[in-house]
Structure 1
């Protein structure tokens, strides 16, 4: 079977130019509860705020469930495209394709999706097909992978390095029996990477209800080749205090595909330690880079929100930083990065 790399494709970094952003519309399910309920209405307002923020910088297409397209269009407002497909949940980063390109043609990796490790609350009868639908809508050639993986479980620097998490790609819930070497080979063959940097785990809150069991995109992300932003929990009362110290130390000792020792930029967490009955995993790392912009989470913590915005302005001086309240999205199990998926420009 031909792989993307064998055909000349690779995954560009998120800061490369985009053709558009893809999102999915929250519908009635165990994550958001029933139609007509307050939780679903609040989720739709939160997703809309992100879509409108991204639309300032680039086109946005939202996939809505069957029969929900007109209501989604009305809520999202003008300038945002809406298409209908059968849909279970609303996390386009994970259910959508990972786009790759050879510089002339667009292609898409369709990972195997099993509801974040067959979580008891998850449904994926329709979501496992969304990557193929989006690839078709984008006019992209599709490459299927047997690896159980999600877009939130990977982050690339565009120069051969990928960040992964042991409890995701190597977890028994997703890929039982696969070795580290086998996982790396499949990842590299589909993304065009050559060096994997493995984090031992994710944030504590990501192993609670509606968690992903350790997605990397809430913990660490490349800001540019050789530089990573890393979640930091300054408060020793939170279990992530030790978790994030270990991850930052690991990344400082790591080298990328070009042989560079990584520069690590720590981003302090909001001061709220608990949320929704468990440990808060509020993280500014779960931001989204779009054309000329950074859509950054905020958490009603004026001091830390302001500090994070200033830090990202220094990291991305050529981009405009826009903050969107992400507490409702985190309550459902993710953040701004989790509900967006970039389609690179070719």
Structure 2
């Protein structure tokens, strides 16, 4: 029986949490890399703050850099950090039967105990954010990340087997086990399982396949999905598989899904290999949609699709190239607190 219910991300937000990059892989190897990371995180925060107050969690060592980039655009909270992917290290906010907020702590372990990841400090951030919001923290019985799930607010979830059934996260767990926990903590009645995420995200520095760069619900019964249209890219086949799965699915209300393909950027590769640039990884918050841009000819195409999918909201594009070079996008670095 469900104890809690996760609202759709399109509902009103009280606040957005982010974390400022301060060390490791996210900062990169050079001073120029580090400044590029700080600038991009700050650009996203400023875009979000046009619509919703932002609290930036900052490692004490990075406070001066954060304030230099953001000034009074955000509120600051000092906590020790390993990395800066708030969607994953922070809690997922839900409501109980009385409408009060609670915070689900997914037992973050570095995206399945990845060899390159550090998570001793980040594993405490869900509890810290719950405390900042004066909400009850609920310890989940599984390991998961916020980027690994997407709900429609009416009982349906999108997820990938490569994440929740990853032996590094939930060894010996079955789909039934995972679905039972999502039902309890998020009020999910039906999980639509995709087999995996995008190619780059399944490589060394990826998450093993987060759903939030693959597909999302802009509204109940409607799914936006990443449509790689160039057969040279290995994600061409993955997009076809995703579409086939979604075409065959129904949601918790028994509806067939309306599918809207969002063309992938024309850019296929960077110096590391095939890119996983995706316009799916956007943040919807109050009157705005904070969208990824890549200085690509499909940026405008995607922005128009998002504007149509979220009528009445302003689409603000932010260059996300430096985010994706580090393993994620705008949705990955933000986490919403639903309005009570």
Q: TM-score range by the shorter chain?
A: over 0.9
Q: Is the 8 A contact 2:26 2:37 kept in 1?
A: no
| Deviation string, structure 1 residues 249-276 (Cα, Å, up to 9, x no partner) | 1101100000000111000000111124
Q: Is the 8 A contact 1:109 1:190 kept in 2?
A: yes
Query: What's the counterpart of residue 81 of structure 2?
Result: 87
Output aligned runs, 1:282-293, within 5 Å: 282-293=277-288
Q: Is the 8 A contact 2:282 2:289 kept in 1?
A: yes
Q: Is the 8 A contact 1:67 1:84 kept in 2?
A: no
Q: Is the 8 A contact 2:83 2:122 kept in 1?
A: yes
Query: What's the counterpart of residue 305 of structure 1?
Result: 299
Output aligned runs, 1:129-278, within 5 Å: 129-278=124-273
Q: Is the 8 A contact 1:106 1:139 kept in 2?
A: no
Q: Tell me, in whole angstroms, the C-alpha distance in 1 between the residues paired with 2:69 and 2:43.
A: 10
Instruction: Give SS of 2:137's match.
Output: strand
User: Which stretch of structure 1 is more off in the superposition, 165-174 or 74-83?
Assistant: 74-83
TM-superposed deviation, 1:187: 1.3
Q: Tell me, in whole angstroms, the C-alpha distance in 2 between the residues paired with 1:79 and 1:238.
A: 39
Instruction: Give SS of 1:68's match.
Output: helix
TM-superposed deviation, 1:310: 0.8
Q: Is the 8 A contact 1:10 1:190 kept in 2?
A: yes
- Structure 2 unaligned segments of length 5 or more: list them: none
Q: Tell me, in whole angstroms, the C-alpha distance in 1 between the residues paired with 2:168 and 2:232.
A: 30
Q: Is the 8 A contact 1:68 1:84 kept in 2?
A: no
Q: Is the 8 A contact 1:73 1:80 kept in 2?
A: no
RMSD: 1.2
Given the two structures, how large is their TM-score scaled by the length of structure 2? 0.97
Matched, 1:66 2:60: yes
Query: What's the counterpart of residue 120 of structure 1?
Result: 115
Instruction: Give SS of 2:167's match.
Output: coil
Q: Is the 8 A contact 1:208 1:278 kept in 2?
A: no
Q: Is the 8 A contact 2:112 2:168 kept in 1?
A: yes
TM-superposed deviation, 1:284: 0.2
Instruction: Give SS of 1:248's match.
Output: helix
Determine which of 288, 296, 302 is the counterpart of 2:291. Answer: 296
Query: What's the counterpart of residue 31 of structure 2?
Result: 37
Instruction: Give SS of 1:112's match.
Output: coil
Matched, 1:49 2:43: yes
Given the two structures, how large is their TM-score scaled by the length of structure 1? 0.96
Matched, 1:337 2:331: yes
Instruction: Give SS of 1:124's match.
Output: coil
| Deviation string, structure 1 residues 32-69 (Cα, Å, up to 9, x no partner) | 236x7211111000000000000000100000012322
Instruction: Give SS of 1:198's match.
Output: strand
Q: Tell me, in whole angstroms, the C-alpha distance in 1 between the residues paired with 2:205 and 2:6.
A: 28
Aligned residue-pair number: 339
| Deviation string, structure 1 residues 108-140 (Cα, Å, up to 9, x no partner) | 000111100111110000000100000100111
Q: Tell me, in whole angstroms, the C-alpha distance in 2 between the residues paired with 1:235 and 1:72.
A: 39
Output aligned runs, 1:316-327, within 5 Å: 316-327=310-321
- Structure 1 unaligned segments of length 5 or more: list them: none
Query: What's the counterpart of residue 16 of structure 2?
Result: 21
Matched, 1:10 2:16: no
User: Which stretch of structure 1 is more off in the superposition, 303-312 or 225-234?
Assistant: 303-312
Instruction: Give SS of 1:142's match.
Output: strand
